[in-house]
Amino acid sequence: MSVSLRKRRRGRATRVRASIPLALVLSLCVLPAGAGSPGERVFTPEQILHWDAHSFEGWTRYQLVRKDGRPAVHAVCKGGTASGLFFRGKIDLRKTPVIEWSWQIAGTLSGVDEKSRSGDDYPARLYVVDEHSLLRWRTRALNYVWSSEQPIGSDWPNAFASQARMIAVESGPPEASGWVRERRNLRRDFERYHGRSLDAVNALAIMTDCDNTGRPTEAWYGRIRLLPEQDGSSPQ
């Protein structure tokens, strides 16, 4: 993954944050997606837990649990950590341009400026990446986030890497209902936010991080589905 999508923290060596390092990409464990309805791909929580774990600052804890009667990846971030679970493999947007996932959070990080480096933490986020290992400056990413302060539907460049676009699909404290389901059309979103008409992307990731604010947070991630156009929704 592009070394141009990078961040610098507390005088330490530069690290990739809004993307996946090239060395990591080459070593990712690519697991086959589970079977779903005809034409769709499904990543279950069990499979997501076995995606490659990569640390940017310590280790966020990910483990398989049952939440409200269903399997989930439980992410707990304490002590200023930031690590994610990464999948690398071709996702054909001509066949499955729509992504659907479910998640919930324990709480938000109130009072943070998420457009600044000091506030670049999210209780839950899902990355989708168009990676170019040779022409690294061409790498682009969508970061769907559960925002603490920005309103739903807002977007902004990542504080450390403008090639990654942050998109608030949820905002503020969680509702009592628990699980929230999201749907996005990836082809339309890459066209809208990056001006790219894509036939494929090649990386997904989830991450719960708290390294910049130093404040604990936790989230639960359910299955991730890749769906044909007729099953999907338009972007917000």
Q: What is the predicted pLDDT for the residue at 221?
A: 98
Count the domains in the chain: 1
- Distance CA(85)–CA(28), nearest Å, equals 10
Inform me whether the pLDDT recorded for 186 exceeds 90.
yes
Inform me whether the pLDDT recorded for 235 exceeds 80.
no
Mean pLDDT for the chain? 85
Inform me whether the pLDDT recorded for 26 exceeds 60.
no
Q: What is the predicted pLDDT for the residue at 213?
A: 95
Q: What is the predicted pLDDT for the residue at 37?
A: 67
The pLDDT of 104-111, averaged and rounded, is 94
188: in domain: yes
The pLDDT of 187-195, averaged and rounded, is 97
Q: Whole domain around residue 94: which residue ranges?
A: 14-231
Q: What is the predicted pLDDT for the residue at 226?
A: 98
Q: What is the predicted pLDDT for the residue at 135?
A: 61
Of 149 and 234, more confident: 149
Report residue 117's pLDDT band, with 50, 70 and 90 as the boundaries: very high
The pLDDT of 108-135, averaged and rounded, is 91
Q: What is the predicted pLDDT for the residue at 212?
A: 94
198: in domain: yes
| CATH code for position 215 | 2.60.120
42: in domain: yes
Q: What is the pLDDT of residues 155-179, one digit of tens each?
A: 999 999 899 999 999 999 998 778 9
Inform me whether the pLDDT recorded for 111 exceeds 50.
yes
189: in domain: yes
Burial class of residue 208 in the structure, from the number of CB atoms within 10 Å of its CB (0-12 exposed, 13-18 middle, 19+ buried): buried
Q: What is the predicted pLDDT for the residue at 48?
A: 98
Q: What is the predicted pLDDT for the residue at 36?
A: 57
Of 121 and 10, more confident: 121
Inform me whether the pLDDT recorded for 71 exceeds 70.
yes
Q: Which residues of 19-54 are buried (b: 16+ CB within 10 A; e: fewer)?
A: bbbbebbeebeebebeeeeeebbbbbbebbbebbeb
89: in domain: yes
4: in domain: no
Q: What is the predicted pLDDT for the residue at 34?
A: 54
CB 228 within 8 A of CB 208: no
Inform me whether the pLDDT recorded for 23 exceeds 60.
no
8: in domain: no
Burial class of residue 128 in the structure, from the number of CB atoms within 10 Å of its CB (0-12 exposed, 13-18 middle, 19+ buried): buried
